[in-house]
Structure 1
Amino acid sequence: MMKTNFSLLFYLKKQKNYISGNVPIYMRITVQGKRAEIATSRDCEPGRWNARAGRVIGSKEDVKMLNVYLDQLQNSVYLAHQAVVNSGLFITAEAIKNKYLGKADNAHTLIEAIKDHNEKMKSLVGKDYVQGTLNRYKVLEKHLLTFITSKYGVIDKDIRDIDQAFLNDFDYYLRSDKNCANNYVVKNIKNLGKILRLCLEKGWMEKDPFIAYKGKTKNVDRHYLNHEELSQIVAKRFISERLRQVRDVFIFCCFTGLAYVDVFKLKQSHIQKGNDGERWIFTNRQKTKTRSAIPLLPTAINIIDQYAENKVCINNGNLLPVPSNQKMNEYLKEIADLCGIEKKLTSHIARHTFATTVTLLNGVPIESVSKMLGHTNIRTTQHYAKILDIKVGVDMNKLRKKSFLNFS
């Protein structure tokens, strides 16, 4: 526990117009240079007061009783200080004063707020949220616990003490101590912002510390498989059934653009005839709740037909035998090694491959790609277009073949 510079002083508080007579005795609690005062309900003549000792001078019975009373007050303040220390909260002079006076402290704490948020989110997993979203807030909770303990020497912090300096320090902690990348840091601070806005709505804090905070995400390259790499995985023959099934699920995602959670919950009822008479996938994205309508390409249809009689799929009511996300990523690493693919295979890279190699590079308009991916904003889809230098080359090659005036 971090030590705090705590002190208690008894002193006489003279009024500005004081002339003579007894003066009220006050207690002054000081923590880290900040003070809180408490009246003792006792008084004393200034000439009989020992300022150094903070006690009354004399040996009469009434003087002894007054000094014993001050000793009792001192012990009570020390006990209040220890109670605040034991609570794990940030130690302030005001907190000690309130504990001593027995005032009901209606203050709330940051960890209390995030735990409350996470409990409520947990009950909505599968309805409004996915497990991955909850996991991110649980990680944020762990980061905050470690940060608060190392920075302030306590296990929690009054929500009213969260300010711009706290955000800046937490930002620096994630970058320096935890060696986190910029976008990860910004996302954690953004998630913390949601917690603090909820506290503002509840009246737990008075001002928004995010007014001056500036954190910007940086564009990162979205990796995808090119045609050659995709062909290598499709053509690979696997002895292991589990690797073969995971490969099929991965390829299905490459040709539909579905995220892991969306293909995991996909059922036969999601496959219906589209306006062209062909089979389509009609579903709502788990992440954004937006509707996705995806015409099925021959490769995806072949995979669906291959598992139409699969007992596991029939028993579970699923379209494909999709393992847990952890197992999926574990097996994809094996598949990458066996196929000689150096890129890290994930459900994200499958989605990116659909957006690039399968659609945009084959002339599918970006508006159509955006709709199939279930993006809420076409600017999200444009990130994929920016990395397609090869597409620019193909488009410009078409332009070269057209007739232009020759300049000599």
Structure 2
Amino acid sequence: MFNFKKMFVLFWFRKSDSKAEKLKREENPNYDTLGGLCCRITIATQVEEIGSVHINIKRSAWDEKTQRVIGNDSNARRYNRTLNDIKNKLERIYELLQIEHGDEVTPKMVKDLFTGKKFFRYTFEQLIEEYFKDRKEEKEAGLVSQETLDVHQNYSKNFKEYLVLKGLKTLAPSHFEEDHLDGFKIFLMSKPKSFVYGHTRKHLSWVKQLLKHSLRKKRIKSNPLEGVIVKSEPDDPDTTHLSISQLERVVAFDFMKLYAQGYIAQETAIRLDRERDAFVFSAFTGMHHCDYTKRKYWLETYKGATFLKGKRKKTQKVFSLKLLEPAVAILQKYGGQIENLPVKSNQKRNTTLKELATMCKVPLVLSTKIARKTFANMALNVLMLDEGDVAACLGLTTTRSLKHYVKIKEERIARKMTSWNDVLRIDAA
């Protein structure tokens, strides 16, 4: 760790120089004079006056010790928020300058950047750091969830990896063009990443969001990706899912038998068995991984059947569906209690699912998302639910989003469109 020098920010009260105020002070030594708050910064022995912060108050309203405006009215709260914002901005500038200049940072360097006399040249790494500081404040205010921050952190990790690989780490953000964004797309969709387009598109949109946010915060002079459109979806959205026979194989697979035969350790058998249960339960309920792990859903009985109900975290849309026998069996296996179902992070779960697919001889790269798509296919093309019903089960706001989960298959059309005789019978009725 570097032992950088500290910077101290001080606000102080300066008496008004107006003739009227001077006269009142001369007439009454105890007069509560009007004045303005000023700011100065100190690094080691060097001092720099930032100047007025444009807050005018009476002398009695200023508490020098606590560096706060006294009072709880709207003006006092607004003034104190302003002082806090100024202090935070000065400290952020100082931290960023330390990264580049270490102990060589002077108060004047901080002032020039704060007052706009000089423009700080942010690197992508610094923009990302500042972006997450802002988002953390939004999280504390309840505007964004920790889950969203974790996802964005993953996007930033892959983006920084791409910059390093392509020698773009020192590239000025203002020079990051559409060709570079296309390169990031290729990087994500090629081995070893091999991301599907939907996941890749979220990365690209995040980079655009990063630059847009940085421009709004005046950390860059222009957004080089302004006007660049990230295609919302490929021509053929990825709806990869397990077939019913593949799902049946996963449901019935006996991992303990492999242990008994000496092929895998008992610990491995138990771990894979629990992960299989979580995957199958998701494949029969269609729940998103974050909704499954949060356990904000419940069970209800209707005419002897068990229904699962809840509210999607992302859309706040209520979902409701009947649990089929394999899902009920898993629930009973864990004492009939939702809180007993196996829970693990999405990344760790997807890693284990790849191992599970190998054991069960399923020729797919399994993921929690595929469980959701497997449910969508079973509901639409096998159980023949209407698209609106399937969307409701998935907790989607509209049926438009359904195309990202499932396609209408020939088997559904064949079962719906029977024969000309049926057409005549229906028409005659």
Normalised by the length of structure 1, the TM-score is: 0.60
Contact conserved, 1:193 with 1:210, CA < 8 A, in 2?
A: yes
Q: How does 1:315-354 map to 2 (within 5 A)?
A: 318-354=339-375
Q: Please say if 1:402 is aligned against 2:422.
A: yes
Partner of 1:235: 252
Change (3 A) 1:135 1:205: closer
Mapped to 2, the partners of 1:339 and 1:178 lie a distance apart of 28
Q: How does 1:90-169 map to 2 (within 5 A)?
A: 104-107=117-120, 109=122, 110-121=124-135, 124=139, 128-130=145-147, 132-143=150-161, 145-146=163-164, 150-151=167-168, 154=170, 157=172, 161-162=174-175, 166-169=176-179
Shift of 1:259: 2.1
Contact conserved, 2:189 with 2:200, CA < 8 A, in 1?
A: no
Shift of 1:266: 1.5
Please tell me whether Structure 1 or Structure 2 has the larger radius of gyration of its CA atoms: 1
Change (3 A) 1:295 1:120: farther
Q: Which amino acid aligns with 1:134?
A: H
Contact conserved, 2:178 with 2:225, CA < 8 A, in 1?
A: no
User: Which of 280, 283, 293 is matched with 1:251 structurally?
Assistant: 280
Shift of 1:256: 0.2
Mapped to 1, the partners of 2:121 and 2:304 lie a distance apart of 59
Shift of 1:243: 2.0
Mapped to 1, the partners of 2:167 and 2:310 lie a distance apart of 46
Q: Please say if 1:174 is aligned against 2:203.
A: no
Q: Please say if 1:295 is aligned against 2:322.
A: yes
Q: Which amino acid aligns with 1:297?
A: L
Secondary structure, aligned partner of 1:386: coil
Mapped to 2, the partners of 1:194 and 1:357 lie a distance apart of 36
Partner of 1:45: none
Mapped to 1, the partners of 2:403 and 2:186 lie a distance apart of 32
Shift of 1:205: 4.4
Q: Which amino acid aligns with 1:307?
A: Y
Secondary structure, aligned partner of 1:300: helix
Partner of 2:378: 357
Alpha-carbon deviations, 1:217-266, whole Å to 9, x = none?
Answer: 31333111111111111222220222222211111111100122222222
Q: Whose relative contact order is higher, 1 or 2, with alpha carbons under 8 Å and at least 6 apart?
A: 1
Contact conserved, 2:241 with 2:374, CA < 8 A, in 1?
A: yes
Alpha-carbon deviations, 1:309-339, whole Å to 9, x = none?
Answer: 7xxx8xxx82402234344334323332232
Change (3 A) 1:244 1:359: farther
- Equivalent pairs counted in the alignment come to 293
Contact conserved, 2:381 with 2:411, CA < 8 A, in 1?
A: no
5+ residue gaps, structure 2, are: 1-96, 102-111, 257-268
Mapped to 2, the partners of 1:354 and 1:301 lie a distance apart of 15
Mapped to 2, the partners of 1:244 and 1:262 lie a distance apart of 21
Q: Which amino acid aligns with 2:365?
A: K
Contact conserved, 2:379 with 2:390, CA < 8 A, in 1?
A: no
Shift of 1:370: 0.7
Mapped to 2, the partners of 1:274 and 1:326 lie a distance apart of 33
Partner of 2:332: 305
Change (3 A) 1:108 1:277: farther
Mapped to 2, the partners of 1:190 and 1:393 lie a distance apart of 39
Shift of 1:199: 2.5
Contact conserved, 2:237 with 2:403, CA < 8 A, in 1?
A: no
User: Which of 414, 421, 424 is matched with 1:393 structurally?
Assistant: 414
Contact conserved, 1:271 with 1:281, CA < 8 A, in 2?
A: yes
Q: Which amino acid aligns with 2:360?
A: C
Partner of 1:226: 243
Q: Which moved more, 1:321-330 or 1:244-253?
A: 321-330
5+ residue gaps, structure 1, are: 1-83, 89-98
Alpha-carbon deviations, 1:77-97, whole Å to 9, x = none?
Answer: xxxxxxx9x949xxxxxxxxx
User: Which of 267, 273, 294 is matched with 2:300 structurally?
Assistant: 273
Q: Which amino acid aligns with 1:258?
A: M
